[in-house]
Amino acid sequence: MLDNTHDAARRSWVSSANAHDDFPIQNLPLGIFSRADGARRAGVAIGDFILDLTRLAEAGLIDAEAADAVVATGDGTLNGLFALGNAPRRSLRQQLFALLEESSRDRARVEPLLHAAKDCKLHMPAVIGDYTDFYAGIHHALNVGRLFRPENPLLPNYKYVPIGYHGRTSSIDISGKGIVRPNGQRKRPDEIDPTFGPCRNLDYELELGFWIGTGNDLGKPINIAQAADHIAGISLLNDWSARDVQAWEYQPLGPFLAKNFATTISPWVVTAEALAPFRAAQLARPDGDPAPLPYLYDSKDQAAGAFDILMEAFLVPSGAEQGDAHRLSCGSSISMYWTPGQLVAHHTSGGCNLQPGDLLGSGTLSGETPDSRGSLLEITNGGRVPFQLASGQSRVFLEDGDTVIYRGHCRRDGFASIGFGECRGTVLPAP
């Protein structure tokens, strides 16, 4: 649903927001921040600042559904706001836009409620009750499948079922936190017995995280036609992976310790409303692929249920300056074989109840070309071919001290570009 808040010509009196790489007035992502007093409050990123929503509501500058949305964040999380659904979130966006745009008459009252982002601490946007990671990146699935099954890279169910597994919520944290290299069982092909020790093949996975807004009752599936309405917004997500541990443990029940030691998300939730101009048609299925089963098919979802988000991964090698980031990959989220709505519909199809603040991972999003591969497993051909950094160093998998940075942007002619902020993590030695 496009409206005046998507008008690329509109500008803000917050000068740093105009042409900001991530947070122009057309974005207004939601998050949780604190200042020196430590109190966690809801905020909105605008340029280089954070607007304090709690103080905005207390000052009487927003009303009706928008005020209800802010009151729902009183516990220092976005869960309550997510639970209210789309209408209060849309009302909040409209009123914030009016307060922050260049022609606003309320600048003098709003400006004192802005805080420099560099002086604030960001927190988890929501308490995540459950986390599910999918495997919806078709090119990643093909690339990984070819490493292990060259003649048959995709298993027969892949094009019928949105594959996923239930992950661990306690180890999900926001950008900037250190990632402790996990210990685990690992066994090389030339080793007779497994050993226990630090992961030798630590990897990243370039993903999106979909935040659930309104949920569903246990036993009552969400229809595909309404599934997209249950997604409140999107963050960037790094599904760190211990590949050697994974190779030894994953059969027959799938990922376990190889995945549960860390997941990193970007702290800002770019709302479904901000992303409206960047919706796209679902990835065209090649001739011969089966059509989605009826419970996964909706014509509107196929026509505009995907998102076109340019995603980049960078590596700052151990000991290098932050300006020495080496771009690992660049691709689009269009590479998802299933739409986010299909992920929601399938997840609930057996009666599973999703709750506000639940998080769904997209799975690694790789493109068709070598420069768009979203993991080191793919880039290095399973660890067989090191890649060279601009510094002259090489990597097969991540080393201690390496920093992985994700950035994501939405760009489309006629609309202002918006971004997600950084998703960053630095590898720390195993204990």
Query: What SS3 state is found at 328?
Result: strand
Provide the pLDDT confidence category of residue 320 given band limits of 50, 70 and 90: confident
DSSP string, 125-172: SS--S-EEEE--BHHHHHHHHHHH-TT--S-TTTTTS--EEE--STTE
- The residues near 302 (Cβ < 8 Å, ≥ 6 apart) are 281, 282, 339
Average confidence score pLDDT of the chain: 96
Looking at residues 101-125, what average pLDDT do you find? 98
Looking at residues 322-343, what average pLDDT do you find? 92
Are 169 and 43 in a shared domain? no
Are 118 and 135 in a shared domain? no
CATH classification at residue 363:
3.90.850.10
Provide the pLDDT confidence category of residue 77 given band limits of 50, 70 and 90: very high
Q: Is the pLDDT of residue 321 over 80?
A: no
Residue 391 has what pLDDT? 81
Are 118 and 161 in a shared domain? no
Pick from 147, 75, 179, 206: which is nearest to 400 by CA?
179
Pick from 146, 149, 43: which is nearest to 96 by CA?
43
Are 100 and 139 in a shared domain? no
Residue 1 has what pLDDT? 85
Q: 207: which 2 tokens?
A: 């993903």
138: domain range?
A: 131-428
Are 242 and 155 in a shared domain? yes
Whether the Cβ atoms of residue 151 and residue 144 lie closer than 8 Å to each other: no
Provide the pLDDT confidence category of residue 234 given band limits of 50, 70 and 90: very high
Q: Is the pLDDT of residue 178 over 80?
A: yes
- The last residue of one of the domains, among 123, 150, 169, is 123
Provide the pLDDT confidence category of residue 25 given band limits of 50, 70 and 90: very high
Q: Domain tally for the chain?
A: 2
Provide the 8-state DSSP code for 329: E
> What are the pLDDT digits (tens) for 291-319?
999 999 999 999 999 999 999 999 999 98
Beta strand residue intervals within 223-374, DSSP E: 231-238, 241-242, 263-265, 270-271, 279-280, 306-307, 310-316, 326-332, 359-361
Pick from 236, 179, 176, 235: which is nearest to 406 by CA?
236
Residue 392 has what pLDDT? 85
Looking at residues 153-167, what average pLDDT do you find? 95
Provide the pLDDT confidence category of residue 390 given band limits of 50, 70 and 90: confident
Q: Which of 123-127, 204-208, 387-391 has the lowest mean pLDDT?
A: 387-391
Burial 407-416 (b: 16+ CB within 10 A, else e): bbebeeeebb
Are 191 and 257 in a shared domain? yes
CATH classification at residue 19:
2.30.30.230
DSSP string, 270-291: EETTTTGGGEEPPPPPPTTPPP
Distance CA 140, CA 50 (A): 36
Please name the amino acid found at residue 208.
Answer: L
Q: How far apart are the first and last CA of the chain?
A: 50
Give the angle 195-404-424 at the CA atoms, nearest 5°: 115
Q: Burial, 141: exposed, middle or buried (Cβ in 10 Å; 0-12, 13-18, 19+)?
A: buried
Would strands 403-410 and 310-316 be described as parallel, antiparallel, or unpaired?
antiparallel
Write down the pTM of the prediction. Answer: 0.97
Catalytic: 230? no
Are 114 and 175 in a shared domain? no
Looking at residues 274-281, what average pLDDT do you find? 98
Residue 259 has what pLDDT? 96
Helix (H) or strand (E) holding 302: helix 299-304
Q: 14: which 2 tokens?
A: 């917050």
Looking at residues 397-417, what average pLDDT do you find? 98
Q: How many helices (H) and strands (E) does the chain have?
A: 11, 27
Are 113 and 146 in a shared domain? no
Catalytic residue among 140, 230, 346, 347: 140
Residue 148 has what pLDDT? 87
Distance CA 268, CA 212 (A): 14
Q: 211: which 2 tokens?
A: 């935040």
- The last residue of one of the domains, among 94, 123, 152, is 123
Residue 324 has what pLDDT? 84
Question: How far, in Å, are 50, 207, 334 from residue 343 at the CA level?
Answer: 32, 14, 15
Residue 319 has what pLDDT? 84
- To 10 degrees, the CA torsion angle through 386, 389, 394, 397? -70
Are 71 and 155 in a shared domain? no
Are 119 and 148 in a shared domain? no
Residue 409 has what pLDDT? 98
> What are the pLDDT digits (tens) for 33-45?
999 999 999 999 9
Provide the pLDDT confidence category of residue 91 given band limits of 50, 70 and 90: very high
- The last residue of one of the domains, among 99, 123, 147, is 123
Are 291 and 386 in a shared domain? yes
Are 307 and 338 in a shared domain? yes
Q: Is the pLDDT of residue 347 over 90?
A: yes
Distance CA 387, CA 329 (A): 12
Whether the Cβ atoms of residue 400 and residue 429 lie closer than 8 Å to each other: yes
Q: Is the pLDDT of residue 323 over 80?
A: no
Whether the Cβ atoms of residue 397 and residue 201 lie closer than 8 Å to each other: yes
